[in-house]
Amino acid sequence: MNSHIHIYQILGEKYRRVKFAIGNEIYETKLSSEALYNHYRGKLNSSNVKIHLVYPLSLALKKASRTSDLLNDEFIDKVILEKIEENILSEHARQDADALLINSFGTYLLSERRGEKVHLECTPGTITLQILFHMIESINANRGEVKVIADISTGYNIYNLALLNALRAFIVRNKLNNAFERSIQAYYAISEPILRRVEAEEYKVYIDEYDVKAFFELPIKERNLDSISKLERYINGNITPERKRAYAKQNSEINRKLKNLLFNLKRAFNAIKYNTPLTLYSPEIVDLNLNYKQIEREIIDFYQKTFTMKIQNNSLKSITHEDKQIINILYSIALYAGIKRLLSKLKKPTLNEIEEIFPKIYSTLKLDLNTNFLKRDIREIKTYNEKIGNEWQVYAKIKYGEKQGKPIKSKHITSDIKRNFFAHSGFEETILEIRRKNSQVELRYRKDKINDIKKWLLNP
């Protein structure tokens, strides 16, 4: 099996060559990320090891003569390249390395004008999103075993906090996307402190597992899906009302796609949580064929365009992002993908298939009580096995027969169809139709009740 390893490390000022100890091996490098790179290349005999150096914008200030230099792509590319080529990485490691530029915050001095200050305004949440999006783009395409290591040995604490928050979000997203199966192995690494005036013979690098649980819950709790699906809602600070309106107009199509996905996600989620498995066979009720990858890609593309800092007086300011809400949007897309994977074995809505597949799905999601109710309601349908014919019939007719062309109602039947729908695994007797075909009992809903069912699943 191919093994892919991705190592992230925040860059700081200057580093000297030291000896890093990883396990029983010693590696002499400037960065602990390169020591980890050498370690895993040798240990796993793998060429699929990548270093991702995270470069805060503030590091470029010493090379800048004016604030506007920090917005010049050619200048920034040159500064980053010089940083990497100042022997911070060996030549062979450089071939497997890239650099991610992130925003910075704080007040600094420009190099050639020591009395001139420049203020960088951003938030840790925006930086978390920058790193998270890089992880999604860099790691998503890998197949086989994937390891992600956040090396927090260098860089300011706030940037390392953003790195760990990004890794946390990436872990949860991948678990949701992979139907709650662990698809990546994540770790954080940290070396012993390297002090300027005290040099040790070697510096041990500690590597610990970093894991986060993912739960079967809707990431977005708010009921107004129209409002939630507007991407411009999550950018607020340092943006004019005119610019925000322009974003709203620009995003109308992707907002529409996201809204449609969120509606289908909510119906699919509630269909599983509230045990109505038959609804998941009908694309008219729950559409699981949406291009969720493209939707995620377009959302990331939009927010990446909003990361660029703007000059205001003697400051560089970034738009403020509601990172937790944006991450919940990504979680929602991942949960949609995970549900699609969970239901990938569905073929035909037969009683036997539902009885076979859904207890396994409920077990995976720790919804075992649903299995008990589902088996109870399937057993009840089976008691009428001899009455089930080759033509579609409403379940109530099979149970009670007909009187003057109408189903005979039992005294136990109430007028609350919605309540009965959820109380009986979705097999509400006045809207469920049943027939026998090739020895299998097939199920479907009355076509005139599809819209009602869609509404019920949005508000159980």
Does position 411 have pLDDT exceeding 50, yes or no?
A: no
Q: How many helices (H) and strands (E) does the chain have?
A: 15, 17
pLDDT digits (tens, 9 = 90+) for 425-449: 999 999 999 999 999 999 999 999 9
Q: What are 89's two structure tokens?
A: 């990485």
Average model confidence (pLDDT) across the chain: 90
215 domain-assigned: no
pLDDT digits (tens, 9 = 90+) for 156-186: 999 999 999 999 999 999 999 998 887 899 9
Distance between CA atoms of 23 and 46, rounded to whole angstroms? 18
pLDDT number for residue 91: 83
What are phi and psi for residue 341, nearest 5 degrees? Answer: -70, -40
CATH code: domain of residue 96: 3.40.50.10640
Could you tell me if 283 and 408 lie in one domain?
Answer: no
Least confident of 298-307, 308-317, 390-399, 446-455: 308-317
134 domain-assigned: yes
pLDDT number for residue 87: 65
Could you tell me if 370 and 313 lie in one domain?
Answer: no
Could you tell me if 59 and 86 lie in one domain?
Answer: yes
217 domain-assigned: no
Residue 318 contacts residue 103 (beta carbons within 8 Å): yes
How is the beta sheet containing 315-317 ordered, strand by strand? 106-110, 113-121, 315-317, 310-312
Q: What are 276's two structure tokens?
A: 């109505």
Could you tell me if 178 and 31 lie in one domain?
Answer: yes
216 domain-assigned: no
Does position 47 have pLDDT exceeding 80, yes or no?
A: no
Could you tell me if 202 and 254 lie in one domain?
Answer: no
Give the pLDDT mean for 41-55.
84
375 domain-assigned: yes
Give the pLDDT mean for 27-51.
89
Q: What are 213's two structure tokens?
A: 């649980």
Give the pLDDT mean for 359-379.
96
Does position 99 have pLDDT exceeding 60, yes or no?
A: yes
Q: What are 162's two structure tokens?
A: 């953003």
Residue 58 contacts residue 104 (beta carbons within 8 Å): yes
Task: Report which of 91, 112, 115, 100 is spatially closest to residue 29, judged by C-alpha positions.
Answer: 91
Instruction: Indicate the residue among 148, 180, 209 that finishes a domain.
Output: 209
Confidence of residue 78 (pLDDT cuts 50, 70, 90): confident
Could you tell me if 188 and 250 lie in one domain?
Answer: no
Could you tell me if 328 and 362 lie in one domain?
Answer: no
Does position 321 have pLDDT exceeding 80, yes or no?
A: yes
218 domain-assigned: no
Confidence of residue 408 (pLDDT cuts 50, 70, 90): very low
pLDDT number for residue 197: 81
Distance between CA atoms of 273 and 284, rounded to whole angstroms? 19
Contacts of 197 by beta carbon, 8 Å cutoff, 6+ apart:
none
Distance between CA atoms of 267 and 285, rounded to whole angstroms? 8
The pairing of strands 145-151 and 185-191 is parallel
What are phi and psi for residue 233, nearest 5 degrees? Answer: -60, -25
pLDDT number for residue 164: 98
Domain residue limits at 162: 3-209
pLDDT number for residue 111: 59
Query: Is the pTM of the predicted complex or chain greater than 0.95?
Result: no
pLDDT digits (tens, 9 = 90+) for 213-265: 999 999 988 778 888 999 999 998 888 889 899 999 999 999 999 999 999 99
Number of domains in the chain: 3
With 0-12 CB in 10 A as exposed, 13-18 as middle and 19+ as buried, what is 356? Answer: exposed
pLDDT number for residue 31: 95
Confidence of residue 115 (pLDDT cuts 50, 70, 90): low
What are phi and psi for residue 116, nearest 5 degrees? Answer: -95, 125
Could you tell me if 301 and 333 lie in one domain?
Answer: yes
Q: What are 37's two structure tokens?
A: 């790179």
Confidence of residue 44 (pLDDT cuts 50, 70, 90): low
pLDDT digits (tens, 9 = 90+) for 328-337: 999 999 999 9
pLDDT number for residue 405: 41
Of residues 84 and 50, the one with the higher pLDDT is 50
Could you tell me if 37 and 58 lie in one domain?
Answer: yes
Distance between CA atoms of 263 and 271, rounded to whole angstroms? 12
Least confident of 406-415, 436-445, 450-459: 406-415
Least confident of 160-169, 198-207, 304-313, 355-364: 304-313
Could you tell me if 245 and 181 lie in one domain?
Answer: no
Could you tell me if 151 and 251 lie in one domain?
Answer: no
Which residues pair with residue 10 across a beta bridge? 54
Distance of CA 268 to the CA centre of its chain: 17
Confidence of residue 324 (pLDDT cuts 50, 70, 90): very high
Q: How far is CA 139 from CA 145, 167, 174, 327, in A?
A: 11, 12, 11, 17
DSSP secondary structure, 200-240, as one string: -S-EEEEEEE------SS-S---S-HHHHT-GGGGB-TT--
Task: Report which of 264, 416, 424, 397 is spatially closest to residue 336, judged by C-alpha positions.
Answer: 264
Contacts of 383 by beta carbon, 8 Å cutoff, 6+ apart:
none
Residue 126 contacts residue 321 (beta carbons within 8 Å): yes
pLDDT number for residue 412: 46
Could you tell me if 114 and 231 lie in one domain?
Answer: no
| Residues above pLDDT 70, as percent of the chain | 94
Of residues 221 and 326, the one with the higher pLDDT is 326
193 domain-assigned: yes
Instruction: Indicate the residue among 312, 342, 372 that finishes a domain.
Output: 342
Task: Report which of 11, 20, 19, 133 is spatially closest to residue 82, judged by C-alpha positions.
Answer: 11
Please list, residue by residue across 142-173, b when 16 or more beta carbons sit within 10 angstroms of its beta carbon and e when fewer do.
beebbbbbbbbbbbeeebbebbbbbbbbbbbb
Give the pLDDT mean for 25-31.
95
Instruction: Indicate the residue among 342, 374, 405 that finishes a domain.
Output: 342
410 domain-assigned: yes
